[in-house]
Structure 1
Amino acid sequence: MNLTVTSAAVDWFRQEWGCVPGDSIRFFVRYGGVSTVQDSFSMGIAKEQPNEIGISTVVDGITFYMEKDELWYMNGQGLTVDYLAATDEVDFKLT
């Protein structure tokens, strides 16, 4: 199980959220919304320091992570986070 954040997504976080090395971006599970990962749930995003990291990756000094208690969402698979310029949105896919 791994977390991959594409360079397009990292660039988007830098431009839209002003992320710099040392920042942390949390991906978390929300009830409701539209998702290609789990029915009735979707991913949320927050710029906050981790509590208990379950999975993470560091790209250009920015830590991207999910908390340990939310890893069930991934069903034992990896998660790829991408930015889709055509729709101007962050995209989540199990890998």
Structure 2
Amino acid sequence: MKITVTDRASQWFREDMGMTGRGIRFFGKVYGKTPVHQGFSLGMTPDDHPRDPVVTMTKDDVTYYITEGDEWFFVGYDLTIEYDPKTDGPTYIYTENGEL
């Protein structure tokens, strides 16, 4: 499992969310859907103090991570975060990685 953040998505997090020097936690939440989960959606929240991270990625002085408690949501997938100009925000791509 890994996290990849594109250059344009990184710029959006820094400029639009003011996240420089901070952390962002990704997690699974009830309700919604993703291309790989029915009944669950992806959430994110600013969180500068990771507790039990299972994967981290730092780009442009922002740390993106998933904690042990949310590992279930991402098992078997890598997460790529891109910028979508139509919604002026992030979009998430799940790529199977063969890990289970």
- Using the size of structure 1 for normalisation, the TM-score is 0.88
- Cα distance in 2 between the residues matched to 1:87 and 1:34: 17
Question: What RMSD in Å do the two structures reach over aligned CA positions?
Answer: 1.3
Q: Which residue of 2 aligns with 1:9?
A: 9
Once the two structures are aligned, what percentage of the paired residues are identical? 32
* 1:5-37 Cα shifts (integer Å, max 9, x gaps): 11111111111211112x111111110123223
Instruction: Looking at secondary structure, tell me which structure has more strand per residue.
Output: 2
- Using the size of structure 2 for normalisation, the TM-score is 0.84
Amino acid aligned to 1:32: Y
Aligned length in residues? 94
The residue matched to 1:40 in structure 2 has which SS?
strand
- Cα distance in 2 between the residues matched to 1:37 and 1:25: 21
Matches within 5 A, 1:52-91: 52-91=52-91
Is 1:94 paired with 2:91? no
Q: Which residue of 1 aligns with 2:18?
A: 18
List, as ranges, runs of 4+ consecutive aligned residues in structure 1 with deviation greater than 4 Å.
none
Q: Which residue of 2 aligns with 1:44?
A: 43
Alignment gaps of 5+ in structure 2: 96-100
Alignment gaps of 5+ in structure 1: none
